Each structure stands twice: as C-alpha cells, then as structure tokens.
Structure 1
Amino acid sequence: MLAGFAFTFLYLVSLGHSAPLACEDLSRPLDQLNPQHLEGRWTLVAGSNKPPLTPDELKDLRSGSMALYFSNTSETSVYSYTQANRVDDECYYLSYNLSIENSTFTSNLNWYNLTWSILNTSCSDCLVIRWALKKARSASVELFVYLFSRRRDLEQKEMEEFRAQLECLKMPSPKKMDPTKELCPQPITTSN
C-alpha cells in the first residue's frame, strides 16, 4: 500500500514538472534577465506578426535567415544590438543601442519607437521576444513575437510551447524558418 502511494506521488510530481506553462506565465515578461545570458548570437526559429505579413514580406522572411547579436556596452543598462538578415544571397545589417530596464528594452529612433519584452519560456537556450513597433505620427502599433535560439532547429515540445504562447497573446500561427538557410557572417563589431 505504501509503495503504491509513493509511486502515485512520484508520478504526480513528475507530471507537475513536465506540465506546460500557463497562459499567465507565457504572456508575462521575465522577472529578471541575466545580462550574460543575452550576449552572443541568437537565430530566428519562428515568428508571428500582427497584422500578418504581406505575401512579399512572408516570401522574403522564408527565403532568408535572421540572427541577432547582443553585446554589453560600457553602461550596464545599454546593449548594442545588431540584426543580420539574409534575403536571397544578400546580407543586410541593422545596428543600434537598446536601453534595458528589468526585461524590457527600448529604442527611440527618428521614425519609430520600439519596445521589446523578453517573455517567459521553459526552453533554456531560447529567447521569446515581443516587439511593439510604433511608427512616428501613427497611432497604430505593429506586434511581433519571435522565437530565437542558440540552435537552428528546436524540439517539438519547444515549438508547441511557442504555439501556445502565441495563442495566449492572441497572435496568428507561427511561421517557421528553414534551419538549412545560410546565416550572414557575424558582424565584426556590434557597437554603434
């Protein structure tokens, strides 16, 4: 009888540890961000946009690859960010500085304001980033939720968690990147 109780208890405990995160957790930004965890290259695995991408934008996204490179500047709350996009055989780089407070980044450029939140995920080598892009002189906000990882391809359970996350955030189904597409060479410097 005692052995049966112990087995049932251990079974229930293991279920609790493997249960997916609840919507409340999946849609909430991280409480604390470890700055050292952020540094280095992150590759886009999948993403969702609201409003959805146009057919041409979707074609460009699917025909290419994207990597983010983060490095800390001399100020502990400022990061240098470089986005490397490959579309067909051309590489495009965009670099700027981001201010961080808790797990939220902000950047104000001439033509738009960009706010990033890094959301909870159970994947240890993943970043789920929610971008809110507000163009100058516009009331509309474009939303992007992208899944980045140190790996090019993720396990099924990690992708299922991302799909659940998008549902919680009321975002369209994800578009998965092709992990065989070549990445752009890492930029020589990631500072402005």
Structure 2
Amino acid sequence: MLAVCAVAVIYLMSVSHAAPLACEYLLRPLNELDHHHLEGRWAMIAGSLSELPLIEHLRLRDSATAKFSSTSETNIAFRRSMSLNNTCSYKSFNISLEGSTFTFDNGRVNTTFIQTSCDDCILLSFDVKSGTRRHFYLYSRRRQLEQREIEEFRAQVECVNMPPPVVMDPTKELCPEEKTAKDARKAEEKKTAESQLTQQ
C-alpha cells in the first residue's frame, strides 16, 4: 500500500512540474538573432492578444505583414502592413536591436523574439505599455504552415495564458509593399531618364 501511495505521489509531482518546464522551454527568447535571416518581408500566420475586444479586431484582418531592412549594424527599419476591408494601412519605425529584443513607438512597445522550431518563421512577443497588454504574433516566409507548427504556436499561446490564436486565411492577398521616399525618388529618376532618352 505504501508503495502504491509513493508511486502516486511521484506521478502527481511529475505531472505538476511537467507543464511549467514545457512552457519554460517553449517561451525561450532567441539567443542569437541572424540579421541576414531577419531581412525581408514576413506574412502573419497567426496571432493572439491579451484583450478579447482586440482579438475580434484581429479576426477581421484579411492579412498582415512585418518587414525588416537593415540601415546599419544595429539599426533596422521595421515596417508593418495590415489589410482590412480591402484597405491597406502601413506603419514604419526605426528600431535598434539589443540581442533578441527591440523597443519602438516611443518606448511604448517592448518586443522579444521567441524561439520556434519553424525554420522560416519568427515569433514576436509585444509587451505594450509596460506589460498592460500583450500581442503574440507568428510570421513566416510561407503563407501556410504545417499543422505541427501551428500546434506548437497554440501551445506557446496557452503558456502565456492568452486566448486561442486567430489563424490568418492564406488565400487573402497581402498588401503591396509600401513605397518609401527612397523608392519614390528612384522611380522618379528612372522616369526622368527614360523621358530624356525618348526626347533624344
């Protein structure tokens, strides 16, 4: 009888410790961030937010992207796009990476890259206004992930005690890339050069 009780106690102890250990593993910040890997545009695959009204707003999105482009060793342009009701909106920020974290929007948003087993994904945890609100977004180079990759993200969301994630519809169009002032200048220079060639 004592042996049975001892086994039961050991089992309960192992179960009670399994979840926190698993969550500790699933929520590890990215140790080394490869700037070359980060460069370019990423499509949002799924996301969750700590506030339920915002979850409903997320469900209405057709698509969303994040784009990173280096301007120096540590300074990066961070651009986000969102498609809602066939209308695209854009926001751009200049950020400085500090390990696996960065801050933007005048210090209101602290962002951490979280490890994921998906090779062509990035997982971002946004803490807004000193942690009063949290956004948890999974992005990928692909528009659609394998089921096991989505399930891993679901487990990560559960670990941070947030509502089940909203999975984006991969058939919905992404916003066209926003033209920067530099892009517009290049286009204007090209147009001028072509115009001059036709006049010769």
TM range (shorter): 0.7 to 0.9
Q: CA deviation at 1:25?
A: 2.2
> Could you state the TM-score of these two structures normalised by the residue count of structure 1?
0.78
CA distance in 1, matches of 2:161, 2:101: 20
Q: Evaluate the alpha carbon distance shift between residue 25 and residue 97 of structure 1 in structure 2; reply closer, same or farther with a 3 A threshold.
A: same
Match of 1:91 among 60, 63, 88: 88
Please state which structure has a larger fraction of its residues in strand.
1
Structure 2 residue identity aligned to 1:144? H
Paired position in structure 1 for 2:42: 42
Runs of 5+ consecutive residues of structure 1 not aligned to the other structure:
1-20
Q: Is residue 93 of structure 2 the alignment partner of residue 102 of structure 1? A: no
User: Does residue 158 of structure 2 align to residue 167 of structure 1?
Assistant: yes
- Measure how far apart 1:41 and its partner are: 0.6
Aligned equivalent of 1:66, options 64, 67, 72? 64
Greater share of residues in helix: 2
The equivalent residue for 1:131 is 126
Q: Aligned partner of 1:126: which letter?
A: C
Amino acid of the residue matched to residue 80 of structure 1? A
What stretches of structure 1 move > 4 A for 4+ residues in a row?
Answer: none
Shift of 1:22: 3.2
Q: Distance in 2 between matches of 1:82 and 1:101?
A: 18
User: What residue identity is the alignment partner of 1:127?
Assistant: I
Aligned CA RMSD, in angstroms, stands at 2.0
- For the 8 Å contact 1:71–1:190, the answer to whether it is kept is no
Question: Quick one: distance in 2 between partners of 1:189 and 1:177?
Answer: 26
**Residues 174 and 78 of structure 1: CA distance in aligned 2, closer, same or farther (over 3 Å):** same
Q: What is the number of residues matched between the two proteins?
A: 162
SS at 2:36's partner residue? helix
1:58 Cα offset (Å): 3.7
- Gaps spanning 5+ residues in structure 2: where? 1-20, 183-200
**SS class of match (2:108):** strand
- Report the equivalent of 2:146: 155
Q: Which residue is 1:52 aligned to?
A: 52
Structure 2 partner of 1:31: 31
Where relative contact order (Cα < 8 A, 6+ residues apart) is larger, the structure is 1
Mapped contact 1:66–1:183 kept (Cα < 8 A): yes
| More displaced stretch, 120-129 vs 161-170 | 161-170
Contact 1:65 1:85 in 2 (8 A): yes
Q: Which structure has the greater CA radius of gyration?
A: 2
Q: Distance in 1 between matches of 2:138 and 2:101?
A: 16
* Contact persistence 2:113–2:123 (CA under 8 A): yes
**For 1:129-180, what per-residue CA distance to the aligned partner results, in whole angstroms no more than 9, with x for missing partners?**
000111xxxx761101011000000000000110111112222111111111
Q: Tell me whether 1:182 sits opposite 2:179 in the alignment.
A: no
SS at 1:53's partner residue?
helix
Residues 8-49 of structure 1: CA deviation (Å, up to 9, x unaligned):
xxxxxxxxxxxxx93212112111101111110100010000
The amino acid that maps onto 2:126 is W
Contact 2:79–2:91 (CA under 8 A) maintained in structure 1: yes
